[in-house]
Amino acid sequence: METLSILNALREVQTLLVILETMEEKDRQAAGDSFDGFSTMLVVSYHTVKLKLFLDRKLPKQEKHASAVYLQVTFEIENDRLVYAGLYCEKREQEARVEDFIKQNTPPGGYTWNTSAKQSTYSESVTRYLTIADTIAKQAHHCNAGDDYRPGYFSEIVVEEDRVVLKQINHWNSRSIDHRNDYTLRDLEFDIPITGVAKAPSFQDETIGDMLVYFFDRSSENNKGCGNKIKEQIEAAKREFTK
């Protein structure tokens, strides 16, 4: 399943996340709580979708700001529906209120999980980067043990306010002392800016336009074939992008 199709299927719960952010901001303002605002994150991993609000606040004895999870709402992907599965709230006394609101605003049977929706809010450049990332990640999809990613080609899809981060992580048997010669230790990650402001690359990152690509493969020799295919596709994508 293409990543753009997954992102398009998240539109309804993205709207819910915005509503929850506005509701919680008003609640904290009414209570006179001091805070610097919320930041949002939406995470898709295998059969779960998580909506997260991070409370940006200054921690004691620290000059820099740090983010703490204030609210997390979890949905399970069940066929063509997203079914509410629970929540966490930093203010435990508020959980019942938030849960009632979610249940009252969730359609019967759950939110629609429509991965065939064609309408997209993402720009042409973001769509291009998503397609390139999919093409690279496909090289290891069902390639080896531990490569059974779903619902797309990644173990985790993270949507932040200014970027989409795609992660394909396979650490099969990497911690087992009984499989010292048969394990996978491979990480592939893409950082795609939504707002047009690219993240500064580290010395470990490669770039394809404004998209950052991080890849390493320390798998045992017998399991390096999948990683080699990824490396070859990264190089091919870099050549194609500059044409």
| pLDDT per residue as tens digits for the range 158-179 | 999 999 999 999 997 866 665 5
Could you give the percent of the chain with pLDDT greater than 70? 92
Could you give the percent of the chain with pLDDT greater than 90? 67
pLDDT of residue 60: 47
pLDDT exceeds cutoff 90 at 32: no
Mean pLDDT confidence for 36-65: 78
pLDDT of residue 68: 79
What is the rounded distance in angstroms from the CA atom of residue 74 to the CA atom of residue 86? 5
| pLDDT per residue as tens digits for the range 54-110 | 987 544 444 444 567 899 999 999 999 999 999 999 989 989 999 999 999 999 899
Q: What is the pTM of this model?
A: 0.90
Cis peptide before 151, with omega less than 30 degrees from 0?
yes
Q: How many CB atoms lie within 10 A of CB 223?
A: 22
213: enclosing H helix or E strand: strand 211-217
